[in-house]
Amino acid sequence: MISRRAQLVDASGIRKVFDLAAKLKNPINLSIGQPDFDVPEEFKQKVIKAVKDGKNKYTVTQGIQELRDEIRSFLINRRVNVDDIFISSGVSGGILLSLLAVTDPGDEIIVSDPYFVMYKHLAGLLGLKIKYVDTYPDFKFTAERLDAVISERTKLVFINSPSNPTGCVLNSRELKDLGEVLNKFSPVAIFDEIYSEFDYEKEHGCLSEFYERTVILNGFSKSHAMTGWRIGYAAGPKDIIEQMIKIQQYTFVCSPSIIQYGALGAINGFLNDILKEYRKKRDIVFELLKDKFDVMKPQGAFYIFPKAPDGDGEGFVSRAIKNNVLIIPGSIFSEKDTHFRISFASSLDTIKEGCKILNKLV
């Protein structure tokens, strides 16, 4: 009774760890990929006001004009010009809609490895063929690495910066080089920058500056802890965005109405104190792990991706969980099983205690 399509998609390994966490007593949880601060009070009150003001019905599929205007102004200030913008149900919704709008079953797409887990499984769900770009050991999706696999058969390329799970950030020079390679065959590039505000070295650039056929995906889940609000945006070439909006009409319908009103002003209001706190956590977790693990210092996001002892990611994660520390095996994000992911979106005490146990396990 179950479709072959559904059977191609495995349950998320991250969700399995979450389920396991529920069974452990007071686990040291370094697995959760969401901020450990709350939505700022200002935006909570805007949602409450929207409810009381009766803004509880459908909006237009593309989202309210006020929010789209704010996003356009923000992008222009970043020197990013885009033809069209719409409000999506999170970046996850944008990923699915972009694939549906651009690809057909059997089409070839390119994904860097390690990758955000959703890219692989949505591609499988839609019957796409994936070419992986191995970015180990430095995790950089370089122009040279892309040039080695791209061809006239390539329909779409995913680029994620800052990266989940590695924290790697692509700067403007690196993106310009990628743009030159992309221009050889003109596939659509999906630039997932949901962690753009978590850029500790201030190097994050935008691919749209260098490559016209770019769809930018971003939102407020990470910068404002709105993970449960399910609001994001897509910006890019009008012909692609129009198709994404059309498909949204028959899938997500629209992003939640009251959340759109609640997010007004959010795009210009990231909290600098929070960025400083996360930079401090980044520095601490790296210093605690660097002597025992082969590990790159992340430049962005709130993840670090160490190599497991003896290159056995799942084996090490199993040992960590037996010692009450929850981390994610790298095989969830990669065709390799050599690393593991730590989220440092936790309290400093949790980070220190978790790293202490992980070091003892080496």
For residue 141, report the phi and psi dihedrals to the nearest 5 degrees. -85, 85
Pick the CATH number of 4-39+271-361 from 3.90.1150.10, 3.40.50.970, 3.40.50.1220, 3.40.1190.20: 3.90.1150.10
Residues of the chain with pLDDT under 50: none
Tens-place pLDDT, residues 155-206: 999 999 999 999 999 999 999 999 999 999 999 999 999 999 999 998 889 9
Looking at residue 4, what is its pLDDT?
A: 83
Question: What radius of gyration do the chain's Cα atoms show?
Answer: 20
How does DSSP classify residue 295?
-
- How far CA 352 is from CA of 28, 85, 279, 282, 294, in Å, comes to 10, 42, 15, 12, 18
Which is it for strands 232-236 and 303-304: parallel, antiparallel or unpaired?
Answer: unpaired
Domain spanning 57-268, CATH class:
alpha beta
Looking at residue 17, what is its pLDDT?
A: 65
Counts for the chain of helices (H) and strands (E), in that order: 13, 12
Looking at residue 311, what is its pLDDT?
A: 94
The structure's pTM equals 0.94
Residue with tokens 């499984």: 121
Looking at residue 1, what is its pLDDT?
A: 83
Neighbours of 66 (CB within 10 A): 12
Q: Is the peptide bond before 137 cis (omega within 30 degrees of 0)?
A: yes
Looking at residue 15, what is its pLDDT?
A: 64
Parts of the chain belonging to CATH 3.90.1150.10: 4-39+271-361
Looking at residue 25, what is its pLDDT?
A: 80
Looking at residue 261, what is its pLDDT?
A: 97
Whether the Cβ atoms of residue 99 and residue 129 lie closer than 8 Å to each other: no
Looking at residue 108, what is its pLDDT?
A: 98
Parts of the chain belonging to CATH 3.40.640.10: 57-268
Encode 12-51: b = buried (16+ Cβ within 10 Å), e = exposed.
ebbeebeeeeeeeeebbbbbbbebbeebbeebeebbeebe
Residue among 62, 133, 125 at smallest CA distance from 99: 125
Q: Hey, CA dihedral for 218, 222, 227, 229, is it positive or negative?
A: negative
Round to whole Å and give the CA distance between 297 and 282: 8
Residue with tokens 């222009």: 76
